[in-house]
Structure 1
């Protein structure tokens, strides 16, 4: 089944958040992990994957008080085409009783082993029909999405909590508000959590319009105890590899590249909605120190392709010089000699 067509056909009936009424028309897939061998809730291993028109994200290890939440998914991300026999759930609009409708136009023949478009069923029967059962084994012809996407993973080490979020850039198809079918709010009531913020809306999947290298996207973090957390780049989709990706610490005004390494920090107990943001430009490179505003001058002479550095202050020693491009990417570094 084409999940995007299902979402479009039910825009008026389905929403997500039961706390703030934000609309997102997300589809949720409950996964019974392959390592699970019990239905005792205290040690039950499971997770809830999320999909909407912007993309899909992995389940979180929620670690709520009545479910273990340990271990992790062994399946692929939820994709656009839902296999036969795969269950899912949606949340209906609170303000009115509406009907969720299935149409034949939502059907599409896409095999679940097509990893770019679908996925295997999250709880599959041990006996399945072999390929000889089908008379036409070819997938339907589908135009691939070309949206830019950044997947970010959050870890709370001490609490064994993992959350993946997706920021997608869908050009003219969307705007920067909460949009039907393309934003998915966080429905997990976990004491430790991470989400992308749009006003008061806590999003697991956020959808923006055009990619803006100067933009800043707020990240909310919630912790019920002191501990070490980390932010990890979990994947890119159709995203320009030349762009840098930073976690900005608003308290210290520091930028940490997460394409090269994991960003880790110790946090006290509390809710942090103004501490972190996802950015693509290190704006600290343009920050001026008034004390040394005119102490050093730099100019480039095109005729001989030489960069000149002039030190105008006796108490200001220039030891190294680094060249960055406009996107904040380091091009070269030189030792400065007398």
Structure 2
């Protein structure tokens, strides 16, 4: 059996005595797209940033984050630099926080390639082709422009082109459409999907939007309060979701009720890993929770077409 390209094994993280990730177990195969979804504060971004060790200096980590079988926490400076500059690329939420405002788009896109020994003319040719691939027009003009001269959607396409420039094996997309309007969101997601299929690149896609993640991913991992509570095929998201939290999220989407009817909400308030019960992290908000749900932690077990961590589902299996 082929080993996963990326694997989180019982990943735990804390800052001081405050837990951020309680236990994360998830894998991404080569060429696969996995969506990591959940409410704000569930630990999605910290999980993804652990892959390239972009964590707060005070963070303590246990468990393992394996890339091609090697724990990234054991990498030395040279190996970590290669991981960040060649093998894994990140696309962040806000493109304007990614691109240096004082440099041209051409400088931003070619910097890493030139650091790797590529000539300026060769680097410009390559990034010009990448800009065309992601739907940027008037390429020569764009290369001379600075970030403030481009719209948010156009600049995010530039950031995607930068992520593709080193031909990475994995792209980490941390809510790449958050700052964009709905139409531009769809365009950016379509570009990511097209390019990862064309290049055989794996994708770990973070979103709080289940529909958006399902449109671009092969599998969906649902995260709550620092844990993965369910994993299932994206194509079976609506039919096969079993965990009470996943089902509550699906019911709270716009379009699930008739016009004029009140939209359902997930009961209670979102919790972080530090605030969640010792047992099931969703127990305080689950209308079906029983005594052992609050004291004993459920584990991810095969259920139908996916995996779920829920005592209620275990008893009814």
Structure number with higher strand proportion: 1
TM-score by length of 1: 0.23
Larger radius of gyration, structure 1 or 2? 1
Q: Which has the higher contact order (CA 8 A, sep 6+)?
A: 2
TM-score by length of 2: 0.24
